[in-house]
């Protein structure tokens, strides 16, 4: 009994030094302030409760109170959390891939796409000036330098004089004229080498330094492989114009229209891949900069009224690409040099059926290849097909523009999407104007090059509108994580502020 009495006396002596505020009251006060200012996660409330329990302990001389120490530690963690880049979170090691791509990767991809845009236009000029067959050999490394002496120039000129194009088309060409077309093709090939090196080397660097996500690393490697394949297709195309057995007697020397179409299609795919990848990287960084605004924008895109618009833009993009391929067939067959009026073709809106489906283009005795041979090799039908596709594309763009400004679609459509649709209409009008004038003036070099650039610009507009309408799952997951991080950081800041206020009141 005496032992218990002694313990009660010691406990009473210690309680005399404890502040008057009791732990239950302090917990009630803290919880009321938390509910009034922010919703703090359960883990933070547990920290507050633990801090309030340790508040009753008397601090030793020269040391801080437990509540003040806890508030300082929470404040430091809340301050340091927002400064940590998303790609360098605490759960990642230096050798692992980041969760987001570096912003410089997006700008680099856009710049690479612009370079591809330029080489497509330059390639069109090379074809229009009939310079593509001036270099008769494929030397990926040693061909980077032009001939450096007169002997080298004469050697290259002798190789060209042995080609069908010189014998049938340019028999009176001299060395000075040859140098002009040679430099056109040499510049085109050198530009292609530059695109390859300026893309492959940074790709290896970004992957080695872990500046891209695994998904983006796969995309970059795929684009690099496509660039190399594009170089091979380019030589495969040129090679088709250097053999006599590929031409009919008396025909104009040219490359295969099939290989030309494949070469142009690969360039367009490479451009679109670069562009969409770069836009995706930049969009991710806009999300991280302002997740709340991005969440509102993405919620607007979930409207059922935009479902039809999204599908229409996807179909329109495919239609534009198909029209581009038909235009490549027109260029490969020089089909723009016939029927140079619009909208009619001769006496009617279409040539006679006997001309459109001529058995001359069949290679089988039974005529089973009549339809597809004429569609791909008959200049009259190829031009008619291109006219039909171009008219259909223009009509689809106009219909999309009208539909985007009617009823619920107009109210649900975000402003940037509406601007994109308007820009798409302007591009379509420009492209149709260029196409008609190019045909009526019998394919002048300037208009024809502008028409080819307009095709890629129209495809760019469709891709941009489709990108603005679509929210990939990876982007949605990134947005959710950014919102969670922002909520945690705000809750930490509120908790640290409350703890500091209580610590200051306790000191007073």
In a domain, 239, yes or no: yes
Domain housing 237: 102-255+262-289
pTM of the model: 0.79
Helices (H), 334-378: 353-356, 370-377
Q: What is the pLDDT of residues 325-383, one digit of tens each?
A: 999 999 999 999 999 999 999 889 999 999 999 999 998 888 889 999 999 999 999 99
The 3-state DSSP class for residue 163 equals coil
Q: Look at residue 150 and tell me if it is in a domain.
A: yes
- Residue-wise pLDDT for 248-262, tens only, equals 555 667 889 999 999
- Is the bond leading into 318 cis (omega within 30 degrees of zero)? no
Report the number of distinct structural domains present in the chain. 1
Q: Which residues of the chain are under the pLDDT cut of 70?
A: 1-95, 244-252, 489-490, 506, 508
In this structure, is residue 272 part of a structural domain? yes
Q: Across-strand partners of 348?
A: 345
Other Cβ atoms closer than 10 A to 280? 19
pLDDT of residue 63: 44
| Sequence-distant (≥ 6) Cβ neighbours of residue 330 within 8 angstroms | 336, 379, 382, 383, 386
The verdict on residue 80 lying in a domain is: no
CA separation (Å) from 189 to 87, 138, 332, 382? 38, 10, 19, 29
pLDDT of 104: 96
Residue 178 lies in a domain: yes
Residue with tokens 């302002």: 290
Residue 320 lies in a domain: no
Question: Residue 184 phi/psi, 5° resolution?
Answer: -65, -50
Contacts 24+ apart (CB under 8 A), 37-42: 37/494, 37/497, 37/498, 38/490, 38/491, 38/494, 39/491, 40/491, 40/494, 40/495, 41/488, 41/491
Asked if residue 318 belongs to a domain, the reply is no
Quick check: is 169 in a domain? yes
pLDDT of residue 396: 97
Say what the pLDDT of residue 503 is.
Answer: 72
pLDDT of res. 399 = 97
């Amino acid at each position: 009994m005496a032992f218990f009495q002694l313990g009660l006396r010691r406990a009473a002596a210690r309680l005399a030094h404890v502040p008057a505020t009791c732990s239950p009251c302090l917990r009630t006060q803290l919880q009321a302030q938390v509910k009034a200012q922010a919703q703090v996660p359960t883990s933070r409330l547990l920290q507050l409760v633990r801090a309030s329990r340790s508040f009753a302990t008397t601090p030793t001389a020269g040391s801080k109170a437990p509540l003040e120490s806890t508030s300082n530690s929470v404040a430091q963690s809340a301050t340091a959390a927002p400064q940590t880049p998303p790609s360098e979170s605490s759960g990642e090691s230096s050798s692992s891939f980041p969760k987001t791509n570096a912003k410089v990767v997006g700008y680099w991809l856009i710049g690479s796409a612009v370079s591809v845009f330029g080489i497509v236009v330059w390639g069109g000029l090379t074809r229009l000036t009939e310079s593509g067959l001036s270099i008769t050999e494929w030397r990926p490394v040693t061909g980077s330098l032009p001939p450096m002496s007169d002997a080298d120039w004469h050697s290259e000129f002798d190789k060209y004089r042995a080609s069908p194009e010189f014998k049938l088309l340019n028999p009176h060409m001299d060395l000075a004229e040859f140098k002009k077309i040679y430099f056109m093709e040499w510049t085109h090939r050198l530009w292609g080498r530059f695109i390859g090196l300026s893309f492959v080397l940074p790709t290896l660097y970004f992957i080695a330094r872990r500046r891209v996500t695994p998904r983006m690393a796969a995309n970059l490697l795929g684009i690099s492989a496509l660039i190399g394949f594009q170089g091979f297709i380019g030589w495969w195309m040129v090679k088709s114009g250097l053999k006599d057995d590929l031409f009919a007697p008396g025909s104009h020397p040219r490359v295969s229209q099939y290989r030309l179409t494949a070469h142009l299609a690969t360039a367009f795919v490479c451009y679109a891949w670069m562009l969409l990848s770069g836009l995706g990287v930049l969009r991710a960084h806009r999300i991280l900069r302002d997740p709340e605004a991005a969440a509102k924008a993405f919620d607007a895109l979930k409207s059922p009224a935009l479902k039809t618009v999204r599908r229409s833009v996807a179909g329109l993009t495919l239609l534009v690409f198909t029209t581009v391929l038909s235009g490549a067939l027109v260029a490969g067959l020089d089909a723009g040099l016939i029927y140079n009026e619009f909208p009619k073709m001769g006496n009617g809106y279409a040539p006679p059926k006997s001309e459109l489906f001529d058995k001359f283009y069949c290679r089988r005795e039974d005529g089973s290849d009549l339809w597809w041979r004429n569609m791909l090799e008959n200049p009259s039908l190829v031009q008619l097909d291109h006219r039909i596709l171009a008219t259909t594309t223009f009509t689809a763009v106009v219909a999309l523009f009208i539909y985007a400004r009617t009823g619920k679609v107009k109210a649900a459509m975000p402003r940037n999407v509406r601007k994109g649709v308007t820009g798409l209409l302007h591009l379509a009008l420009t492209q149709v104007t260029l196409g008609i004038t190019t045909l009526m003036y019998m394919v002048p070099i300037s208009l024809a090059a502008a028409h080819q650039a307009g095709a890629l610009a129209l495809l760019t507009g469709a891709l941009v509108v489709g990108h603005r309408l679509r929210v990939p799952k990876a982007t949605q997951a990134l947005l959710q994580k950014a919102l969670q991080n922002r909520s945690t950081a705000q809750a930490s800041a509120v908790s640290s502020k409350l703890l500091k206020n209580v610590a200051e009141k306790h000191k007073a």
